[in-house]
């Protein structure tokens, strides 16, 4: 089966590669609009939009398109990618010494353009940070690492030194719950035979 990742995320590419997938990358060039709803519905809807956008653009060959979207949630508020240093600082200050949730929605599209088989799911991981000083936050923001990441941090980067504990799938926080993805794909292959 040919796989197409509907994302430009280097972290998602790395996770798929580490898991042994052979895949093409075709980022979904859509405006991500977060409409109302709870975090699981929002990430699943955005993942589905991305996967559908790429699926419709492909020549009718047999493949599975993988769409994904990740958000960070604290106290019911969704924290997207920060627009600048000040917003990154505000987000990280809010998360310091607290527990927040990371939701990733994944949508898998297989089959024909007229009647694709769509399977969409999400994973949630709780992440707790240690207290972080103002100086530590400013030093981290100066690295530039927060700006392309939901919640203004990457768990696999320099900010990892502030992660006290996680409950759930670590890779989900990186941006793709790779084990769940693998098992969902295995299930769909088993159903076809």
Q: Which two tokens stand for residue 190?
A: 């088993």
The single residue of 24, 29, 41, 69 carrying the catalytic annotation is 69
DSSP label of 131? P
pLDDT value, residue 190: 52
Nearest alpha carbon to residue 132 among 96, 164, 158, 99? 96
pLDDT value, residue 59: 77
Residue showing tokens 């989900």: 172
CATH class of 2-192: alpha beta
pLDDT value, residue 193: 40
Alpha carbons 53 and 150: distance in angstroms, whole number: 22
Residue showing tokens 């024909």: 112
CB 7 within 8 A of CB 30: no
The H or E element spanning position 79 is: strand 77-79
Alpha carbons 100 and 180: distance in angstroms, whole number: 21
CB 13 within 8 A of CB 34: no
pLDDT value, residue 114: 72
pLDDT value, residue 121: 98
69 belongs to the catalytic site: yes
Nearest alpha carbon to residue 7 among 43, 60, 34? 43
Give me the tens of pLDDT residue by residue for the chain, a chain 193 residues long. Answer: 789 999 999 999 999 999 999 999 999 988 776 666 899 999 999 999 999 999 988 877 788 999 999 999 999 999 988 999 999 999 999 999 999 999 999 999 998 767 789 999 999 999 999 999 999 999 999 999 999 899 999 999 999 999 999 999 999 999 999 999 999 998 765 545 4
Domain regions of the chain by residue span? 2-192
Alpha carbons 154 and 73: distance in angstroms, whole number: 14
């Amino acid at each position: 089966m040919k796989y197409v990742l509907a994302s430009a995320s280097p972290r998602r590419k790395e996770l798929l590669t580490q898991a042994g997938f052979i895949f093409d990358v075709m980022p979904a060039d859509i405006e991500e609009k977060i409409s109302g709803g709870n975090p699981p519905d929002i990430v699943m809807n955005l993942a589905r939009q991305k996967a559908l956008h790429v699926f419709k653009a492909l020549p009718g060959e047999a493949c599975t398109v993988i769409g994904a979207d990740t958000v960070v949630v604290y106290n019911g508020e969704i924290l997207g990618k920060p627009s600048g240093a000040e917003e990154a600082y505000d987000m990280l200050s809010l998360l310091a010494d607290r527990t927040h949730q990371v939701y990733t929605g994944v949508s898998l599209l297989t089959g024909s353009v007229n009647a694709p088989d769509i399977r969409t799911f999400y994973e949630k991981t709780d992440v707790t940070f240690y207290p972080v000083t103002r100086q530590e936050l400013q030093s981290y923001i100066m690295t530039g690492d927060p700006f392309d990441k939901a919640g203004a941090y990457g768990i696999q980067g320099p900010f990892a030194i502030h992660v006290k504990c996680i409950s759930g799938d670590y890779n989900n926080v990186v941006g793709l719950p790779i084990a769940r993805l693998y098992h969902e794909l295995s299930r769909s292959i088993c159903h076809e035979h």
